[in-house]
Structure 1
């Protein structure tokens, strides 16, 4: 199974594609595309373009499941309206399932079960990697 961990931040989604190798170890694929940005969330053309970019990304990388790190819906740390549009567009990618994982679950998983991160993992992809690894190990 190939899983794409997603962290939505402002107007972009950060993407980390992971799978289990033959030894059952989580590997992150090194990809050119690690972010997709939504330029104008009020433009139908931009929304369709963003969805098309996600479709293409999922096809190229044979993604089975997208895993999204959830954001608060209200309160001081709430995600913005644009981030929820991005979340919806991810859920609309044909041929892929979408799952969600909470920040608390990711923090616990990182502390208790992640022994090491992939070499040269960019800081901005850490949560996306954790989301994908979480689903791979938890099923």
Structure 2
């Protein structure tokens, strides 16, 4: 199973792809670490964002996309633009997209023998929350 973890920050969708095959995890090299929605008002940039994201998922044969849930209100509330990006991702019928809570991710990570480190698997440090989102999901599915 190949999963793409997504962390939404501002107008960026930061991604990390991880695969679980025969009980082993693999983090493939991916041509991009994040997608940016450059224009939050007009339709065409949003369609391009969706197209580019979907194309990457097809190219890397991703089965599931998991988005790390953000708070709706309060000090740590998500940026309004990030919710627009989340909606755009969820509306792509070609993908299995779900939003998962931090609690769900933490439960999955607690079941793991070793927690992955972004730098050790060849990712940038800013991709670590996306990596842990995908890894936590896979650990929950494995149990």
Gaps in structure 1 of 5+ consecutive residues: none
User: Size of the alignment, in residue pairs?
Assistant: 138
CA contact (8 A) 1:54 1:93 kept: no
Q: Distance in 2 between matches of 1:134 and 1:3?
A: 11
CA contact (8 A) 1:7 1:69 kept: yes
Matching residue of 1:61: 60
- Residue-by-residue CA offset, 1:16-50 (whole Å, 9 max, x unaligned): 1111133x122211111110000011011111111
Cα distance, 1:2–1:112 mapped onto 2, change above 3 Å: closer
**Over the residues paired in the alignment, what is the CA RMSD in angstroms?**
1.7
Cα distance, 1:136–1:109 mapped onto 2, change above 3 Å: closer
CA contact (8 A) 2:18 2:25 kept: yes
What secondary structure, in the 3-state scheme, does the structure 2 residue paired with 1:4 have?
strand
- Residue-by-residue CA offset, 1:79-116 (whole Å, 9 max, x unaligned): 11100011011112232111222224434544552514
Q: Distance in 1 between matches of 2:126 and 2:62?
A: 20
TM-score (norm 2): 0.87
Runs of 4+ in 1 over 6 A off after TM superposition: none
CA contact (8 A) 1:11 1:38 kept: yes
